[in-house]
Structure 1
Amino acid sequence: MSKIASLVPESLKSSKPSLIRVLNNKYGSDPEMVNLTVGEPDFKTADHVKLAAIKSILDDHTHYPHNWGTPGLRNAISQYLARHFDLHYDPEGEIFVTEGASGAISTIINGLCEPGDVVLVPCPAYTLYRINAELCNAQAVELETSAPDFKVTPQLLKEALDKYGDKVKVLVLNYPVNPTGVTYTPDELRALADLLKNYNVAILDDEIYADLLYEGEHLSMAKLLPDQTLYVNGVSKNAAMTGWRVGYICGPRDVLKALAKVHQAAISTNATMNMDAAQEALLHGDEDTAKMKAEYDRRRKFLMAAMDKIGFEYTKPKGAFYLWVKVPDGFDGDSMAYAEHLAEKAKVAVVPAAAFTKLPVRYFRISYAASMEKLQKAVDGLAKVFAQDQAD
């Protein structure tokens, strides 16, 4: 052990890495495995977006940009949100750019939370909310949503808000939801907003999958409670730009002014050419997104039909690119054990519920951000194992 090992805080020592990444690293290099773990678009970034980045470099956009993001990108974000979601943010003071939506989440939680504060997280949920809360010695409180829809209700939320009182700094609201693919109807959101307006709590409104909604209408919580909402989005999912690391936060200018200090201290700013590429995607990429969305919807319908035929129970997804599948009742083990069972017997790598909640939820996530060829191979393997298990 090194001399300085004792200086590492216990909160960091006890924090566990993302199980999604652990499983991807474990199975990603196995040529026989159908790896459906990571939620990353399998499409290429559009050529016109790549060319924008190349032009940016050739035009010598290679120096420090504004630490809130380039004016061009902030204007593009403002136009994009107004065009798609009827959200209206001033590029000067109500928008700043982060390193992906992950950077936005980290900035908000680390900026607002102090030791002992509470972050409410409806679960199952993307693990980064909990990890960031724990790293700043705040308490991540999992709100146990229930099957079949796994959505937080006003009653459940009120109980938590009243129980933890002034300790609650942040409520996480992510929809369409990772990992379930469900979303909230406008009426459900209005009901939550009617409750939340009575509490002094910040809403971390993660809408990174908002462009990938296949059924229903998307209404942003930022539209209903702009004074309490920190809106998070990016270009990773809707423009297949995960590796470009461009996200953003929109919200009240007084809060963003403070959060920008946290982001500047940790990151300084994003890369200029990446922001120029994101600007092009937001201004001229609607057709690209529409094509990807249509293909994801085709895969979604294929998987649902396949699960129905095999006999798996699942939560019907209306957005994102995930299927939340129930571990069969006859299996003697938790979600992690079943994921290992599928990897061994079906050669299909999925993510167990244990990656998204500490609660004993017996489900697993399939990412259909994969080719139809891979999905067909996965379905064949799942069908075989399901039938074998039923026969045993």
Structure 2
Amino acid sequence: MKDELISLLNKNLLEVEPSLIRKFDEEISEIPNIVKLTLGEPYFNTPDHIKIAGIKAIIDNQTHYAPNRGIAELRGAISNYLKRHYGVSYDPQEQIIVTNGASEAISTVMNSFSGQGDVVLCPSPAFGLYRNLAKINGAKYIEIDTENDKYKLTPEKLKEYLNKYQTSVKMLIFNYPNNPTGVSYSEIEIKKLAEVLREYLVVVLSDEIYSELIYKEKHVSIASYLPEKTLLVNGVSKSYAMTGWRVGYLCGPKKLIRNLAKLHQANVATIGTINMIAAAEGLINGDEDIKKMRAEYEKKRDFVCKRLRDIGYSFIPADGAFYIYVKLPHDFQGSSIDYARILAQRAHVAVIPGAAFAIQDQKYFRISYAVSDDKLASALKRLEKFVKGRRR
């Protein structure tokens, strides 16, 4: 009977593979003495004033159901934060939904807009969640290869794909700073992309979860140029080291948010009241926390890049996030998974293979430098020893 019940599942779901990031991380975790540079998990602890706000909420018995779209205090804090940091305006009553992390915000949008045969465009490489959600919904996930354009989506390439798929296109997924490359976009580049998108009937899912982790230029949200078509996704996980609190948010035009709230309500009803109170504290009083963490990440980025160059690796220059996308040695004939396994087994360094970020294998691996300085130094020393040994 068990096997017969499997046949009743959504056929699209059966074809979806579990996250390769999580799968590979689990695979190599049992290797003794391994240094893991795998997950996008800030190594910082949640700042004390945010934790205290959560503790106080428990003591004050703020442990009951919250409104579906989130408590008013947090929605107001999100609205003010986005206005203060990025100059985008959202009505906290009608244009914001608090979600179970940024992941639920993404799934709410994709489950609402993508159906059987619809086309979802996404610059590649990209976070695997987008591809899996499109597949579950029966949509055609079309990757726009950015390798020849310094891993950025250009207006010309965007227009080419929009014209190629025309009325079948429902959505463009746009994540920046990008996971896995760390590449981001200037204000001029954002403006030019918005000018192209304005001419087409397409919604933009703008995943800006790493927006606070840009090291030189200020982050510019595409929502500032294309508010009528943008569904903005963000959250507190990366910027405030609150991954376990599971607080994200989704912002957009009133009519769209009104309908997306129905799916959010059906899926999760609401998230934890305590978590939202803590997140509000971060958004209201946590600007200095962001500055300190960002400065530390920038130092780590510079250290990793220098060491990788010294070792002889090529990589994509990262503008933000906490990832470096490293090219496999030119003489290595296997896949990115093969190379990552070799690093884990011989160098005792765990990275994520590029195959996790595109349909076709990427001859890269991703390093997450959101770890302690000691772990980074140890991992790079091991990589150096491994590379030198391989050259002999």
Normalized against structure 2, the TM-score is what? 0.98
CA–CA separation in structure 1 for the residues paired with 2:181 and 2:302: 15
Provide closer, same or farther for how the CA distance between residues 277 and 134 of structure 1 changes in structure 2, counting only shifts above 3 A: same
**Secondary structure class of the residue paired with 1:7:** coil
Show CA shifts across 1:326-368 (max 9, x none).
0010111121111111111111110111000012321110000
Match status 1:150 vs 2:151: yes
Number of residues of Structure 1 aligned to a counterpart in Structure 2? 391
Paired residues of 1:114 and 1:137 also in contact (CA < 8 A) = yes
**1:368 equivalent in structure 2:** 369
User: Following TM superposition, by how much is the alpha carbon of 1:15 offset from its aligned partner in structure 2, in angstroms?
Assistant: 0.3
**1:161 equivalent in structure 2:** 162
Matching of residues 233-312 of structure 1 within 5 Å:
233-312=234-313
Match status 1:66 vs 2:62: no
User: Following TM superposition, by how much is the alpha carbon of 1:136 offset from its aligned partner in structure 2, in angstroms?
Assistant: 1.0
User: Following TM superposition, by how much is the alpha carbon of 1:31 offset from its aligned partner in structure 2, in angstroms?
Assistant: 4.0
**1:345 equivalent in structure 2:** 346
**1:40 equivalent in structure 2:** 41
CA–CA separation in structure 1 for the residues paired with 2:63 and 2:28: 37
Show CA shifts across 1:303-330 (max 9, x none).
0110111110000111000001000101
- Divergent runs of 4+, >4 A: none
**1:102 equivalent in structure 2:** 103
User: Following TM superposition, by how much is the alpha carbon of 1:59 offset from its aligned partner in structure 2, in angstroms?
Assistant: 1.5
Show CA shifts across 1:5-36 (max 9, x none).
21112211110111111122223344411111
Show CA shifts across 1:30-65 (max 9, x none).
441111110010010011111111111122211111
Q: Which amino acid aligns with 2:191?
A: R
**1:119 equivalent in structure 2:** 120
Matching of residues 311-330 of structure 1 within 5 Å:
311-330=312-331
Paired residues of 1:112 and 1:169 also in contact (CA < 8 A) = yes
CA–CA separation in structure 1 for the residues paired with 2:172 and 2:231: 10
**Secondary structure class of the residue paired with 2:200:** coil
Match status 1:76 vs 2:82: no
Q: Which amino acid aligns with 2:255?
A: D
Paired residues of 1:114 and 1:138 also in contact (CA < 8 A) = yes
CA–CA separation in structure 2 for the residues paired with 1:89 and 1:8: 39
Paired residues of 1:148 and 1:315 also in contact (CA < 8 A) = no
Show CA shifts across 1:56-101 (max 9, x none).
1122211111100000000000111111111111101011100111
CA–CA separation in structure 1 for the residues paired with 2:97 and 2:132: 23
**2:140 equivalent in structure 1:** 139
CA–CA separation in structure 1 for the residues paired with 2:196 and 2:215: 28
% identity of equivalent residues = 49
Provide closer, same or farther for how the CA distance between residues 36 and 148 of structure 1 changes in structure 2, counting only shifts above 3 A: farther
Match status 1:333 vs 2:340: no
User: Following TM superposition, by how much is the alpha carbon of 1:185 offset from its aligned partner in structure 2, in angstroms?
Assistant: 1.1
User: Please, which moves more after superposition, 208-217 or 65-74?
Assistant: 208-217
CA–CA separation in structure 2 for the residues paired with 1:368 and 1:236: 16
Matching of residues 149-228 of structure 1 within 5 Å:
149-228=150-229
Paired residues of 1:73 and 1:276 also in contact (CA < 8 A) = yes
CA–CA separation in structure 2 for the residues paired with 1:9 and 1:83: 44
**Secondary structure class of the residue paired with 1:4:** helix
Paired residues of 2:131 and 2:141 also in contact (CA < 8 A) = yes
Q: Which amino acid aligns with 2:291?
A: A
**2:360 equivalent in structure 1:** 359
User: Following TM superposition, by how much is the alpha carbon of 1:121 offset from its aligned partner in structure 2, in angstroms?
Assistant: 1.0
Question: Structure 1 unaligned runs (5+)?
Answer: none
CA–CA separation in structure 1 for the residues paired with 2:129 and 2:260: 18
**Secondary structure class of the residue paired with 1:333:** coil
User: Following TM superposition, by how much is the alpha carbon of 1:377 offset from its aligned partner in structure 2, in angstroms?
Assistant: 0.9
User: Following TM superposition, by how much is the alpha carbon of 1:169 offset from its aligned partner in structure 2, in angstroms?
Assistant: 0.8
Q: Which amino acid aligns with 2:290?
A: T
User: Following TM superposition, by how much is the alpha carbon of 1:147 offset from its aligned partner in structure 2, in angstroms?
Assistant: 4.8
CA–CA separation in structure 1 for the residues paired with 2:250 and 2:68: 13
User: Following TM superposition, by how much is the alpha carbon of 1:222 offset from its aligned partner in structure 2, in angstroms?
Assistant: 0.4
Q: Which amino acid aligns with 1:216?
A: E
Q: Which amino acid aligns with 1:137?
A: G
Q: Which amino acid aligns with 1:294?
A: A
Paired residues of 1:119 and 1:141 also in contact (CA < 8 A) = yes
Paired residues of 2:31 and 2:348 also in contact (CA < 8 A) = no
Paired residues of 2:237 and 2:244 also in contact (CA < 8 A) = yes
Q: Which amino acid aligns with 2:344?
A: A
**2:378 equivalent in structure 1:** 377
CA–CA separation in structure 2 for the residues paired with 1:226 and 1:384: 50
CA–CA separation in structure 2 for the residues paired with 1:185 and 1:137: 34
Paired residues of 2:54 and 2:277 also in contact (CA < 8 A) = yes
User: Please, which moves more after superposition, 381-390 or 174-183?
Assistant: 381-390
User: Following TM superposition, by how much is the alpha carbon of 1:148 offset from its aligned partner in structure 2, in angstroms?
Assistant: 6.9
Show CA shifts across 1:216-241 (max 9, x none).
23211000000000000000000000
Match status 1:5 vs 2:6: yes
Normalized against structure 1, the TM-score is what? 0.98
CA RMSD of aligned residues (A): 1.1
